[in-house]
């Protein structure tokens, strides 16, 4: 899997196997105003509604905390969202991505070719592997080693965490860049 930038305000994803990415749908949350607390008083700091997980820099994992001392308080919220990658499991076949490889069901004929199927051995005599669904079968070889195998643009929000996964039977390189534009 490779991640790279094509000068778009999003992340470009490249992978060899099935791919998934999940993230928070909202790019920002509203925070309360700064509050002054006098000695002996407490203040309730309220996290935003609608998140299944909360983690304060105090170690508390509740939505709200009550504090009685001065300091900086930070809250991290997260939740799983819908799938961000289109056709990452190849169930829709040869759609939803771009590639520098050539579509060809006879992968033994040329390097730099790929096919979407369920049985790798039926497309190249030296390949093996089957699955319960379709997957990308690619013949890279030496000449196509630096080709972009699977590419897809995915919108991302600044300062957010994303969980990405991929499945590959062979080692692959993971790299990432973002365009840096909001």
For residues 143-166, average pLDDT? 75
% the chain with pLDDT above 90: 16
Mean of pLDDT values over 82-104: 88
Predicted pLDDT of residue 40: 84
pLDDT reported for residue 52: 82
pTM of the model: 0.57
Q: Is the pLDDT of residue 35 over 50?
A: yes
Q: Bigger pLDDT: 73 or 35?
A: 73
Helices (H), the chain: none
Instruction: Give domain limits for the chain.
Output: 2-24+83-166, 43-78
Q: Which residue has the higher pLDDT, 171 or 1?
A: 171
Summary count for the chain: helices (H), strands (E): 0, 12
142 vs 18: which has the higher pLDDT: 142
What is the spatial distance between Cα 33 and Cα 43, in angstroms, rounded to a whole number?
Answer: 12
What's the residue count for the chain? 182
pLDDT attached to residue 26: 52
């Amino acid at each position: 899997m490779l991640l790279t930038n094509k000068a778009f305000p999003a992340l470009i994803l490249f992978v060899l196997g099935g791919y998934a990415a999940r993230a928070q749908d909202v790019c920002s949350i509203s925070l309360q105003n700064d509050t002054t607390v006098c000695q002996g008083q407490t203040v309730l700091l309220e996290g935003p509604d609608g998140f299944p997980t909360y983690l304060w820099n105090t170690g508390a994992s509740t939505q709200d905390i009550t504090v009685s001392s001065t300091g900086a308080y930070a809250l991290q919220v997260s939740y799983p969202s819908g799938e961000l990658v289109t056709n990452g499991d190849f169930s829709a076949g040869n759609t939803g991505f771009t590639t520098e490889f050539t579509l060809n069901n006879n992968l033994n004929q040329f390097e730099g070719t790929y096919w979407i199927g369920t049985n790798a051995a039926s497309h190249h005599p030296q390949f093996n592997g089957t699955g319960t669904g379709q997957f990308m079968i690619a013949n890279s070889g030496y000449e196509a080693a630096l080709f972009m195998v699977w590419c897809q643009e995915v919108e991302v929000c600044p300062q957010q965490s994303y969980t990405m996964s991929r499945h590959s039977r062979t080692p692959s390189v993971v790299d990432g860049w973002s365009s840096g534009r909001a």
